[in-house]
Amino acid sequence: MLMTGRHAPRFTMTDGALPAGLWLIGLGPGDLGLMTADAIEHARACEHRFLEGYTATLPADQENRLESIIGPWQRAMRPQVEDPSEILELARKSAVALLVVGDPMQATTHIDLEAHCAEQSIDFSVIPGLSATSLAISLSGLQSYRFGRQVTLPYAYGDYLPTSPLELIDANYCANLHTLVLLDLDPTGMGVDQPQPMQPAKAAEILAAMQHRLVEREGKTRESMSTPLAQWNTILLSDLGTSDQSVVSGHLGDIAKVEGGRIHCLILPAEFSGMEREAYERRKGQR
């Protein structure tokens, strides 16, 4: 049985234990004060709780609060989630919560968990959470309907550095669509060690390396990329949904100099329309 969002059964603490199954529970973007009442109730009622620790992370102070809000928990890193045999074995006989920062079904890995549960006849339910990606678009001041495909900017793994993220950014730009760029959290690509979120300077460096490789492969600079990378309009959004949240706009060369903050993402706008230019200008120099 699959239950998502409002289709999940309404539960209160007076109902007793939850039925066996896997419950994906969204924690919201970072501040546990943004957890929904449903998320808190269901997490408390589960017999086992795992905090997924590699697609996104909580600030240290919020992670320290988590047990007082929902009860004891264990951390689950990439191997344990991508090969979920231990978690699913528990979910056959008891209610198991996989706690996910943000909205739980944003990551491909979590969608794959739904497939595993369906194959093994394990109940699967989702309690949504506020997503940092939704917050980013709202706080940017840009029109939500003018965003194209989201892009993840990865670290280079040895000599491997794909140009596809930059090509997707360019495809959006050519279609006059803005791009939300999520920055990688794991320089190893293994999802085992404590995440090391990419900083703005590193993001600018990687975009420049991708552009260099693309020019080498195609033999010329694309006309759509003729403006120097350092002069690209950019919005930097940091620590969304926390007390340290900040949104600042400027050229990429200036954004690359911004220091501090924990989790960052970028928006690379296309041509501004309506009041978007004014919104972009108002965010210059803000922290």
pLDDT digits (tens, 9 = 90+) for 158-204: 888 999 999 999 999 999 999 999 999 877 666 656 778 899 999 99
Nearest to 51 by CA among 88, 18, 97: 97
Q: How far apart are CA 23 and CA 98, in angstroms?
A: 6
Task: Give the count of domains, the chain.
Answer: 2
Cβ(267)–Cβ(280) under 8 Å?
no
Does the pLDDT of residue 9 top 80, yes or no? no
Is 141 part of any domain?
yes
Domain range for 125 is: 2-130
Is 266 part of any domain?
yes
Residue 56 confidence class, pLDDT cut points 50, 70, 90: confident
Q: How far apart are CA 226 and CA 66, in angstroms?
A: 48
Residue 194 DSSP one-character state? P
Is 287 part of any domain?
no
Does the pLDDT of residue 152 top 50, yes or no? yes
Nearest to 10 by CA among 28, 33, 37: 37
Q: Which tens digits make up the pLDDT trace of 234-255?
A: 999 999 988 899 999 999 999 9
Does the pLDDT of residue 71 top 60, yes or no? yes
Q: Please state the pTM of the whole predicted model.
A: 0.85
Is 262 part of any domain?
yes
